[in-house]
Amino acid sequence: MPHVSVKYQFKTFKAEVKPGTLIQQALEDACKHFKLDPDAHALEHGKGHLDLSLPYRLTGLPHGCSLDLVKLPEGAKKSSATSGTAKVTIKLQIIAPEGDVSFHMPPPTQLVNHFTSGDSITKMLEGFESSTGLKFFDRVYSTKVPGKKTIYHYHPIVQSFSTILESPDQFKQPLSKLGLTGGSHSLRLRFKRTETIEETPVVIETQEIDQTMTDATPDEEKVKKAEKPAKVATKEEVNDNENEKGTEATKEKQNQSIAVKHEEIEVYKPVLTRSLPSDTSDESTYDLSIDQARLYQSMLSKQANTNGQIMSKRQREQLQQKKKTLAVTECLIRIKFPDQNTVQFNMSPTKKLSDLYELLVQKILVLSSSQQEAISNDEKPIFELHIPYPAQAVLTSISDFDRELVAHCGFGHRTLLVYKDDSGKRSQYIKDEYLSKAKNLDDLDEVKLEISRAEMSDTAEVDEKKILGGSGTQLGTSFGSERKTTIGDEKGKKFPKWFKIGK
């Protein structure tokens, strides 16, 4: 096991250290061997004192090096860690509790606080609780669904390098136990979640029934109905009813315009259980022959000049836009969130960004408290959408709501968007009803197709519709490589690997 040699008055002690062992622990072991007070001594290497808060692997000391155990001056001893007077600046890094939507990350200025080396871990956390307004101890969050209530309990865990403190006894230790005897240091706070499930009775709403009508006999009911005079509707009432029916019909049409079936919204977790096989083909496969070069040149000339006339740049752009508009019949949209989860759904190419915005707000997103307050504000959207590559802003202001997905935003068959907002990184962005049915990345269409292509031989033709479950979805232009597995000429000959787009 690695060790360091601690020298004191011509005597040597070999202190065993691991990569994560704090220098403070090595000092205490040496002082215990020599029967000295660790608060009045320090370890030196060369001409400087070692930082007691660092683990051995970060000190840069070689294995078996010699350290000097020296006595501190009298004034330094009085301001030692156990006396509780040494000032320590702590910067707390908080990892948001998983599944707790009510948790909001405080600003960085509230995550820096001053303590003394004699303060316990509990006192330090209580100090950050008062400065941030958050609750670290006995934190509870619950969710309800019909017939079930889930209660989440969160327990704080403090980490300093490889040292982890989570039990109540460990929280009673002073900061000096971690080697925090002065200066500025950083600690990490995360939460351990335990959950309990409670079953709740399902309440069935019933309509109230008039007791007099229930007790009456059928003959009496007929008499009562006959006694009630028929109400004649006036012209104003008829017009009001027609207006109400008209508004209801328009509302239904608006809801249908942004409606996406529940089963069409899919969520994918950032988990890949199968690795994509690497290409192990021979390099000679990519050698280019003369006939293949001529064929490739002929294909490029046809693409550059389709009608035998040289077109201007404007004509080429108009032709390209026309082809793209006609080709896209359905937009498959994926939105990636900061927690690496991805949402996928289909929309019509004639839909606008306002329809996409309303779909996310009403059906998919878990809104933070700041977003719920700002949702009534019509000055700007509560989030932004961007295309990652090439970098392009899609939705940043209210003026973008009237833009169509294909005609103005340039969406293709398949488009990847990135979600951004000002609320900071949260633990959850998507509602539980979709997260509970989330799939792995292995279930993506292009991943299935790529694995099938790699597993089959070079000459075999891959049936994409069969692999994708019979769906005619085009692997698209934005986040899927648009290519065919086999390309043939008029005589049915297949081109070599180098000719396939993407190789």
Q: Residue 22 sits in a domain of what CATH number?
A: 3.10.20.90
Pairing of strands 183-199, 87-94: parallel
pLDDT at 492: 47
Per-residue model confidence (pLDDT) at position 202:
57
pLDDT at 258: 47
Burial class (CB in 10 A: 0-12, 13-18, 19+), 174: buried
Query: What is the CA 388 to chain-centroid distance, rounded?
Result: 15
* DSSP string of 391-451, one letter each residue: TEEEESSGGGGG-BTTTTT---SEEEEEEE-SS---S--B-HHHHTT-B-GGGSHHHHHHH
pLDDT for 333: 92
Model pLDDT for residues 81-138, shown as the tens digit of each residue: 445 567 889 999 898 888 787 888 888 888 898 888 888 889 899 899 888 888 888 8
Residue-wise pLDDT for 61-80, tens only, equals 888 888 888 888 865 554 44
Residues 156 and 259 in one domain: no
pLDDT at res. 276? 60
Domain membership of residue 471 (yes or no) is no
Q: Residue 364 and residue 432: Cα distance in Å, rounded?
A: 9
Does residue 365 lie within any of the structural domains? yes
Residues 169 and 42 both lie in one domain = no
- Domain end marker among 49, 78, 107: 78
Residues 24-53 have a mean pLDDT of 83
Mean pLDDT within 132-154: 84
pLDDT score for 425? 74
Residue 303 has pLDDT above 90, yes or no: no
Residue 177 and residue 321 in one domain: no
481 pLDDT tier (thresholds 50, 70, 90)? very low
121 plus 262 within the same structural domain: no
- Res 448 pLDDT > 80: no
Task: Inform me whether the pLDDT recorded for 218 exceeds 60.
Answer: no
Q: Are residues 49 and 92 in the same domain?
A: no
**Residue 58 is encoded by which pair of tokens?**
């970060």
How far is Cα 205 from Cα 179, in angstroms, rounded to an integer?
A: 62
pLDDT for residue 79: 44
Q: In this structure, are 95 and 149 located in the same domain?
A: yes
In this predicted model, which residue has the larger pLDDT, 195 or 277? 195
Write out the two tokens for 238. Answer: 């008829």
Per-residue model confidence as pLDDT tens digits over 390-430: 888 899 888 888 888 888 888 888 899 999 887 777 788 88
At 61 the pLDDT is: 84
pLDDT score of 385: 92
Band (pLDDT 50/70/90 cuts) for residue 282 is low
How much is the average pLDDT of 482-491? 42
Look-up: residue for tokens 């309800």?
144
**Same domain, residue pair 74 and 94:** no
Q: What is the pLDDT of residue 241?
A: 58
Task: Answer with the residue of higher pLDDT: 142 or 319.
Answer: 142
pLDDT single digits (tens) 315-336: 878 877 776 655 778 889 999 9
% of the chain residues with pLDDT over 70? 69
In-domain check, residue 237: no
Mean pLDDT of the chain: 75
Asked which of 78, 99, 132 is the last residue of a domain, the reply is 78
User: What pLDDT sits at residue 56?
Assistant: 80
Please determine, for residue 222, whether its predicted confidence score (pLDDT) is greater than 80: no
- Whether residue 312 has pLDDT greater than 70: yes
Other CB atoms within 10 A of residue 132 CB: 18
More confident residue, 215 or 374: 374
Residue 299 lies in a domain: no
Q: How confident is the model at residue 480 (pLDDT cuts 50, 70, 90)?
A: very low
Structure tokens at 361: 């707000």
Are 334 and 365 contained in the same domain?
Answer: yes
Whether 226 is covered by a domain: the verdict is: no
56 and 100 both lie in a single domain: no
CA distances to 150, 344, 439 from 267, rounded to whole Å, are 22, 6, 6
| Same domain membership, residue 168 and residue 98 | yes
pLDDT of residue 418: 92
| 378 inside domain | yes
Taking the CB of residue 163, how many other CB atoms lie within 10 A of it? Answer: 19
Same domain flag for 408 and 268:
yes
Q: Tell me, yes or no, whether 102 lies in a domain.
A: yes
Report yes or no: 401 and 352 within 8 Å, Cβ to Cβ. yes
pLDDT of residue 213: 45
Range of the domain at 434: 255-278+317-443
In a domain? residue 218:
no
Residue 479 confidence (pLDDT): 53
Which pLDDT value is given to residue 369? 76
Among candidate residues 387, 393, 335, 403, the one with its CA nearest the CA of residue 365: 335
Last residue of a domain, one of 168, 199, 230: 199
Task: Round to whole Å and give the CA distance between 258 and 434.
Answer: 18
Q: How many domains does the chain have?
A: 3
pLDDT, residue 469, reads: 54
* Residue closest to 330 by CA, chosen among 245, 225, 406, 422: 406
pLDDT of residue 468: 56
Please give the average per-residue pLDDT across 28-47, as a whole number.
Answer: 84
* pLDDT value of position 487: 41
Express each pLDDT in 253-277 by its tens digit. Answer: 444 444 455 448 888 888 766 666 5
Percent of the chain with pLDDT over 90: 5
More reliable by pLDDT, 461 or 33: 33
Q: State yes or no: pLDDT of 53 exceeds 90.
A: no
Output the pLDDT for position 386. Answer: 92
Same domain, 420 and 354: yes
